[in-house]
Structure 1
């Protein structure tokens, strides 16, 4: 009898395996770890930060965060809509929803009270999506001209040139690897963009480099003695670190170069890590490229997104 009991215990399913098991609500971070590999690192950071902020808000008011009641979530939105954009509030709701799903708890974000709270936030703060200042061809050339010839300058020159040619998002740009470079029939090279925000399964797309971008890239790789691995890397005290750059650094590099190139403080403030992608789309429009090739070049699936990018193109260039 004792032997049968030991065998049964050995093959018993672990706690939490069955839908009826009660999860440890205090350990939501461990539950979130189950998503590793299924979502991007930036999405994971967002989930953790957003739920942690909700948890802290609840704790400060003596409210329960897990399981959260719809009235609590609606109150949270009403409180936070004074300082946060509706898009940020919706992102926070996504984090709350994911945590409750992982812990097999009823989703409080689908309640009518939460929906009404979000609608109030949207009506209180109606706004058009802000758009980064586009780095078009002329501005790209100004940024390239102020890049120095040391390691940081060569990397920045390659970063700007490649980012413009490939229309990469900042996360795509810093994720590139040397192995993604391949010769093409144009006599230059192409880059495989392995994964994108709207391509979570990694189907990838091919982006082509001009000769100028290819030469800037070769100069950086030779100076940094990079033969494989991450394409764009941090440089500290003239030493290249063997890891990918943080996506946030892309915007900082562009802002720094823009200031060096003589842009006004207001213009520098409008520069972001998205500026190369926006500006390249605008430049293609100026050059007379049709919408479908632009969408293909940037990996867009929505016509509306591209249309918003190019709405600020100065139509006087057609005169």
Structure 2
């Protein structure tokens, strides 16, 4: 008797749910939030056009790209929207649009129309950061914001990294501290990365962190937490809260808050290092750039005038 292999005509629901969770876990929380927003926008648009959203035809996705282009959406936003629609189709068992000639041609046309140069936010360089720190009020919120701004700059940290830091991730050393980043954009699997944080004489990040923790009574757990208007310490901050703190600090010193973002602290450290003549590899030790070409773009931009070929004759 020949044994026939057991074949499921469809994947059992429980197994499919587990598979879907793994697919979603491969993406960051920020990406998933953006995907949900994009998918909801696509479904709403399909309803107004009286077309099917799932499964959608390639022509429908192409028309959606054109519609959003007319609304002034950026190239990165449009590309992410298509990725979100493709992800939703894959999870529902339909073919994605990664190989659709119609959709890919629409995306190429979009890039030619808009260009692909990213919109750079202003870096919070060391001089700007000092001003931002100086204007923080002498309140619990002010102490938290001062610590967050200073440590975010000193560690060239992303906002997603700041909000998950714990007190135990900072280990004091002579002259500074070791900071362990348990998970980050370039380390989604959580292998962990350790960088050095200098206290220094200008930013004094570790002093600001110590003042915040003592004032808030924080000895363990999350390092940065919400504070309500009554001065009560709450739970975790969102990465959007970090962006708002940076924008508010920029506005407080007379700068346009729209020019700054959650990335400004990280960009500020890199730009300040480049302007000070620090070696790109040493900057990368802190910034943890895996692609040095990206880092070199910051260094080159910072030295466009300092190392200009015309200094000797213009």
Deviation at 1:34, TM superposition (A): 5.9
Question: Could you tell me the TM-score, scaled by structure 1's length?
Answer: 0.84
Q: Distance in 1 between matches of 2:55 and 2:40?
A: 14
| Counterpart position of 1:287 | 276
| Counterpart position of 2:48 | 60
Q: Secondary structure at the match of 1:242?
A: strand
1:1-319 superposed matches below 5 A: 18=8, 20=10, 35=23, 37-83=25-71, 84-184=73-173, 186-211=174-199, 212-263=204-255, 265=256, 268-313=257-302
Label 1:219 to 1:137 Cα distance change in 2 as closer, same or farther (>3 A).
Answer: same
Label 1:293 to 1:314 Cα distance change in 2 as closer, same or farther (>3 A).
Answer: closer
Deviations, residues 62-82 of structure 1 (Å, cap 9, x unaligned): 111111111111111122212
Deviation at 1:309, TM superposition (A): 2.6
Q: Distance in 2 between matches of 1:19 and 1:195?
A: 39
Q: Distance in 1 between matches of 2:251 and 2:55?
A: 49
Deviation at 1:31, TM superposition (A): 8.9
Label 1:217 to 1:295 Cα distance change in 2 as closer, same or farther (>3 A).
Answer: same
Q: Distance in 2 between matches of 1:65 and 1:18?
A: 28
Structure 2: where are the runs of 5+ without partners?
1-5
Label 1:88 to 1:31 Cα distance change in 2 as closer, same or farther (>3 A).
Answer: farther
CA RMSD after TM alignment: 2.6
Label 1:258 to 1:148 Cα distance change in 2 as closer, same or farther (>3 A).
Answer: same
Question: Could you tell me the TM-score, scaled by structure 2's length?
Answer: 0.86
Structure 1: where are the runs of 5+ without partners?
1-12, 24-28
Deviation at 1:315, TM superposition (A): 5.1
Aligned residues, how many?
296
Q: Secondary structure at the match of 2:301?
A: coil
